[in-house]
Structure formats: C-alpha cells, structure tokens
Amino acid sequence: MNFIDFLGFSVGICVTISVIPQIWKVWKTKKVKDISLLTFSVLTFGIALWVVYGVLKNDMPIIVTNSISLLLNIVMVYFIIYYEKE
C-alpha cells in the first residue's frame, strides 16, 4: 500500500468512526431533540453515493471506509426516527 492509499484509509477511518460518539450519546440518553434528521438522512444518502463513486473509480479506501460509514449512519438515522417518536 502506498502513502496516498494509507492516508485515504486513515481519513476514511477517521470520518467513519466520527459518528460513533453521537450514536453512543443517543443510545445512552435516548434524546434526539437537538439533532437534525434531515442532516443525517442527506449524509447517509451522500455516503451511499460515495460508495458508488469509489466503485466506479476503483478506489479501495473510498469503497471500504464509506461502506462502514454507511452502516453506522443508517443506525443513526434509525435512532433519530425511533427516539423522536418516543
């Protein structure tokens, strides 16, 4: 793996794990009042398109990290919808 690919993976991991503290916070507090559902919905849609972009460019760092990111953000969107109803 060259330096640019390594950087790509590091960045991807960084962005990917970034949503975990937010998921954890919502999981603990069950409160989502201040969080924008629209933000996380559009973000999730955008990340899904990043995966497609990565596939078309055959860019592994983009494909791998955004796939994980996509899963985490789907969890986040589910949490917002679920706890907003409560």
Give the binding site for a second copy (CB under 8 A): 3-4, 7-8, 10-12, 14-15, 17-22, 24-26, 29, 31-36, 38-40, 42-43, 45-47, 49-50, 52-53, 56-57, 61
Closest approach, Cβ 49 to a second copy, in A, equals 4
| Length, in residues, of the chain | 86
Closest approach, Cβ 16 to a second copy, in A, equals 8
What number of other Cβ atoms are within 10 A of residue 43's Cβ?
Answer: 17
CB-side neighbour CA atoms (13 Å) of 23:
15
